[in-house]
Amino acid sequence: MVAIGRALISNPKVLLCDEISLGLAPVVIKDIYAAFPRIKASGASVIVVEQDIAQALKVADRVYCMMEGRVTLSGKPSDLTREEIQDAYFGRITK
């Protein structure tokens, strides 16, 4: 959380968050994800690298699944099924 706060002080155009749910208490994760709409409203783009699919889909405008440096699936969360995302995550499809 301190790293995110430090990054936001500089008024970034893009905020990259890598595995923000890893090792944090659920209440902290909830607070961080609740802040994303405000961060986006301030004009910053937010890129979230996350294994918690359900959490990421709640705040995402676009989803990109990658495997070995290649995009295996992309689209709006409303256009993708959970099965498609899981298949792309585990390398079972390429779209």
pLDDT of residue 18: 92
Q: What is the pLDDT along the chain (95 residues), one digit of tens a residue?
A: 788 888 889 999 999 999 988 888 999 999 999 999 999 999 999 999 998 888 889 899 999 998 888 899 999 999 999 889 888 888 776 54
- Rounded CA-CA distance 10/88 in Å is 35
State the SS3 of the chain: CHHHHHHHHCCCCEEEEECCCCCCCHHHHHHHHHHHHHHHHCCCEEEEECCCHHHHHHHCCCEEEEECCEEEEEECHHHCCHHHHHHHHCCCCCC
Handedness of CA 25, 29, 34, 40 (dihedral sign): positive
